[in-house]
Amino acid sequence: MSNDISRDDWLKDYYKREKKKRVSLINRFSKLANFLVEKGFNYLTIEYEGAGDSGDCMTTRGFKDKEMETLDLEQYQFLDEGREWDSKENKYIQNGDRWAHAKYREGEVYKAVEEYNSNLADDSKDRIDPDLGWELCEFIDYDWINNEGGQGTLIFNLEEKVIEVDGTQNVCATEDVEESINLNTGTQTVKYDGKDVAPLI
């Protein structure tokens, strides 16, 4: 009984912390949205994917005017930032211009957030990592990192201050399989979920 009570207390404390974190995120990104709109941006997008207790989010893209209306998300290309992993230094090393292959104002977004941060005190809680990705992905509620994971696109409408998540969650499926191999005749029968399928032999 005491374990149930402590678990309930832990859950209450967890949800309290998560709510506080969400309120902080909303306030911080609302202020950033105002700044980015003044810079001419109307949308940000970011892609994410994960599985097996690990995940990653890609470089944040920015859009102005009507650029978002003509964007085909299916034709998105990941940005090659020209970085290589240095195993001795245990970090990425930049080779040349990070934004040389940028197609969706990635560098402009990064520099705009740097400018936004420069107007804040060094210890301000409103400061935001210019890469944006992981902090934006904090808005996603479903578990896209653990087990089979998931993937998707987060779309931030800066003018309306609305974040939409267009994602999928991977699930593990199981099917009943029946096989019978007759060594005398060299024949085989196979059934998947009760339905006959063509055997190999």
Tell if the pTM clears 0.85, that is, is over it. no
Same domain flag for 134 and 55: yes
- What residues contact residue 80 under an 8 Å CB cut-off, 6+ apart? 101
Compute the mean pLDDT over every residue in the chain, rounded to the nearest whole number. 85
Same domain flag for 78 and 101: yes
**Cα end-to-end distance, the chain, whole Å:** 59
Same domain flag for 110 and 161: yes
Same domain flag for 93 and 153: yes
Residue 186, domain extent = 173-201
Same domain flag for 102 and 195: no
d(CA 96, CA 69): 32
Same domain flag for 165 and 187: no
pLDDT attached to residue 126 = 93
Same domain flag for 200 and 132: no
Per-residue pLDDT for 72 more than 70?
no
Residue 127 amino acid letter? R
Domain count across the chain: 2
- Mean pLDDT to the nearest integer, 109-123: 95
Query: What are the pLDDT digits (tens) for 89-101?
Result: 776 666 667 777 7
Same domain flag for 130 and 194: no
Helix axes 2-38, 106-118, angle to 10 degrees: 100
- Mean pLDDT to the nearest integer, 135-163: 91
Comparing CA positions, the residue from 131, 135, 157 lying closest to residue 41 is: 157
pLDDT attached to residue 155 = 92
- Mean pLDDT to the nearest integer, 105-127: 94
Per-residue pLDDT for 143 more than 80?
yes
Per-residue pLDDT for 187 more than 70?
yes
Query: What are the pLDDT digits (tens) for 33-71?
Result: 999 999 999 999 998 998 888 888 888 999 998 888 777
pLDDT attached to residue 1 = 46
Per-residue pLDDT for 116 more than 60?
yes
Same domain flag for 34 and 65: yes
Same domain flag for 166 and 179: no
Same domain flag for 129 and 183: no
